[in-house]
Amino acid sequence: MGSPELTWRHRAWVVAGISFVALVAAAAFRSSTGVLIEPVATDLGWSVQTVSLAITVNLVLYGLVAPFGAALMEKFGIRRVVAAALLMLSAGMALSTRATQPWQLVATWGVLMGVGAGCMALVFGAIVAGRWFVARRGLVMGVFSTAYATGSLVFLPVVARVSVSSGWRSASLGLAVLALLLVPLVLALLRERPSDLGLRPYGAPVGWAEPEALDDRGMGPARVALLRLREASRSRAFWLLMAGFFVCGWSTNGLVGTHFVSAAHDHGLPITTGATLLAFIGIFDIVGTLGSGWLTDRYDARVLLAVYYGLRGVSLLLVHLLWAPTVQPPMFFFVVLYGLDWVATVPPTVALCREGFGVERAGVVFGWVFASHMVGAGISAWFAGAVRESTGSYDVAWWTAGALCLLAAVASFVVPRGDQLRDRDRDPDKDPDPELAPA
């Protein structure tokens, strides 16, 4: 019989499970706005570009709040921050049903939901994986990274059907209630650290010691987040990861996640069919991201990122050739190729942040990298809406995203290895923390 730290009964898996559920819910709430663009625009008499502005604000705040959300979790605890974020998401969804002016949609979909989702971004998963796991850390991060795809697969077809049959307001209110129901589950099952329960992280060897806390406990969360940014900004690796993740957000949440259903509708496909295709992308994304987590535990993360961005670029450059009034077999080529690496980029990016900046800094540093992801997504959401309004199609948006992905592949491949940002009191001749070594 193996050590308790290497069994499925370890409490780490319970924490990982409720974290995954919370991430899935947050992703579903945020991505549901892409399905609701057409119903909201039609019902309120607004243009797609007007509705896209609210989603742009949502995406940008989703990213910019992430590093501060990570710092808030470090100071006030994961449970409190996640519970508060779920309440904000619920309020944003519910209040959006009362919107009669564009600024009100920006305030609800954009501000409330953007801030709430930002506090539950993948930095939340990175912190949980870093605290609770030594072995299988990459795989767990891969599972967390499938949250967006899982949320799309489970919720988006339902949201689309409800919005068609009962109206977009009914779909929004249903999501608001679901967010409220998750709050007591988070408070009951989520725990901060293994040491709070007298445990070692999953896979930690006998004699393992928790990493020494950084000397910033007297600082406020905003100051800690900005300090981490200043420290990381001295590294070329940080800027290359930021650039790659900017493109990642541009080509996923901002373009496909926001406009895919609308683009399908432009080519004669019903909204429900577009949402179903997006859900199928989610199925292949789950497979690809789990595989990416497994590969990240074993292979060079830089090479993995280069391959992922390259394949994504090819799929986006070709998708404009595949649209038709009915779903044709060639469209499944895009669904499979694009879906397999939708967020497969996350596990290797988190691994490079941890390798370059240490486990205690990695959560906030990845928060800043993730911020660039969502800034890219926000700009792309607006850009694609503007392209569609001015040209009548999304073709230029697809081509632009494809070209940017090919550039991101090159940038990822040249990220320096072992570009460690060490504590001032750590001997630079020593290896990094032993817990950072592969399991």
Confidence of residue 313 (pLDDT cuts 50, 70, 90): very high
Check whether 420 has a pLDDT greater than 60: no
User: Which residue type, as a one-letter code, is found at position 427?
Assistant: D
What pLDDT was estimated at residue 121? 76
| Winning range, highest mean pLDDT, from 105-119, 251-265, 274-288, 373-387 | 105-119
Across the range 15-27, mean pLDDT stands at 88
Unique residue bearing structure tokens 């200043």: 230
Q: 258-267 pLDDT, tens per residue?
A: 888 888 888 8
Confidence of residue 3 (pLDDT cuts 50, 70, 90): low
For 362-430, the DSSP string reads: HHHHHHHHHHHHHHHHHHHHHHHHHHHHHHSSSHHHHHHHHHHHHHHHHHHHTPPTT-----TTS-TTS
Minimum mean pLDDT among 203-217, 279-293, 389-403, 420-434: which range? 420-434
Across the range 308-315, mean pLDDT stands at 93
Average pLDDT value over all residues in the chain = 82
| 303 closest CA partner among 340, 252, 336, 344 | 344
Q: 137-147 pLDDT, tens per residue?
A: 778 887 887 77
Check whether 288 has a pLDDT greater than 60: yes
User: Which residue type, as a one-letter code, is found at position 283?
Assistant: I
Minimum mean pLDDT among 73-77, 123-127, 209-213: which range? 209-213
Across the range 33-37, mean pLDDT stands at 81
Q: 338-363 pLDDT, tens per residue?
A: 888 887 898 899 889 888 887 677 77
- Exposure of 98 by Cβ count < 10 A (0-12 exposed, 13-18 middle, 19+ buried)? exposed
**Domains present along the chain, CATH in parentheses:** 8-194+222-420 (1.20.1250.20)
Return the higher-pLDDT residue of 313 and 5: 313
| 178 closest CA partner among 151, 157, 153, 141 | 151
What pLDDT was estimated at residue 108? 93
Confidence of residue 419 (pLDDT cuts 50, 70, 90): very low
What pLDDT was estimated at residue 210? 67
Check whether 439 has a pLDDT greater than 60: no
By the 8 A CB rule, do 11 and 204 touch?
no
What pLDDT was estimated at residue 411? 93
Strand partners, 202: 133
Q: To the nearest whole percent, how much of the chain has pLDDT over 70?
A: 89
Q: 205-224 pLDDT, tens per residue?
A: 777 766 665 555 556 677 87
What pLDDT was estimated at residue 437? 36
Across the range 186-210, mean pLDDT stands at 82
